[in-house]
Structure 1
Amino acid sequence: MSKETIIISAKGRSLGRLATEVALLLRGKNKPDFALNKPGDCVVVIENIKEVKITGRKFKEKTYTSHTGWPGGFKRVTMEQIASKKGLEEILRMAVSGMLPRNRLRKDHLKRLTFKN
């Protein structure tokens, strides 16, 4: 079974709208043979991720939070810090991950998201 490759350009596109389109394609909801219990069969390639549009003051002010489970383990990091350490690819990957169902297929879906600059 060969996987279909879908190439999407992020140039001038809003981060959230791009993430919703990618999440739908990764799940396979654009196919007539969509099934909830099976991963989609396409690979999504994102081009020009450096030119994605982030509106307002989100780049400096949006925070991502996590907790280690230990006392004092509350971590807070901004979008700007993530972009400088891991790149804009990680921000889009986190946005798409939040739009996918939280089940066993999530890792399979995210493995088929790739980036090309």
Structure 2
Amino acid sequence: MKIIYNLKFKQVGRICSLISKKIINYTLLNKKMVIFLKNSNLIKYNKKSFFYKHTGFPGGLKKISNVFLIKKHGFDFFIKKTLLGMLPKRKKFKDIIKKIIFKNENI
């Protein structure tokens, strides 16, 4: 099963919630599912928001801005990190993420 999403001029949060709903419903039914994400470099994102993580020590809250994350790792990593936060953490979590393929040209 092949699912294709065109990300051109779409909000990151909205498209990631649609993809995560689709992944949760179909992973148990179909092992051969692959998700193609087209035009990942043309997404719309909020430049003022941050990703937060805590080190576990007192006062250890770290934050990284979206702009810095995209400059350092690229749009594909940014979308994948947003998508990881919306998926349930369970047994086949890493296998689900491997099925996402980014294409910046026509499929």
Q: Could you list the runs of 5+ residues in structure 1 that have no partner in the other structure? A: none
More displaced, 39-48 or 69-78? 69-78
Q: Name the aligned partner's letter for residue 46 of structure 1.
A: L
Of the candidates 29, 32, 35, which is equivalent to residue 44 of structure 1?
35
Q: Which residue of 2 aligns with 1:108?
A: 95
Contact 1:49–1:88 (8 Å) recurs in 2: yes
Q: Equivalent pairs: percent with the same residue? A: 26
1:91 corresponds in structure 2 to 78
Bigger-Rg structure (1/2):
1
SS in 1 for 2:88: coil
Deviation at 1:68, TM superposition (A): 2.9
CA distance in 2, matches of 1:10, 1:116: 10
Letter in 2 for 1:78: S
What CA RMSD, in Å, does the superposition of the two structures yield over aligned residues? 2.1
Whole-Å separation in 2 of the counterparts to 1:64 and 1:39:
32
Q: Which runs of 5+ in 2 are unaligned?
A: none
Distance in 2 (CA, whole Å) between partners of 1:53 and 1:16 is: 10
Preserved CA contact (<8 Å) 1:66 1:75: yes
Cα deviation code 1:35-94 (max 9, x no counterpart): 4xx77541101110111122xxx21x2111223335664322100000001111112112
Asked if the contact 1:46–1:116 (Cα under 8 Å) also holds between the matched residues in 2, the reply is yes
Partner of 2:13: 16
Tell me the alpha carbon deviations over residues 2-51 of structure 1, each in whole angstroms, 9 at most, x when there is no partner.
xx222211012121111012112222x2x5xx74xx77541101110111
Normalising by structure 1, report the TM-score. 0.75
Q: Corresponding residue for 1:62?
A: 49
Q: TM-score, normalised by structure 2?
A: 0.81
Q: 1:107 to 1:100 in 2, by over 3 A?
A: same
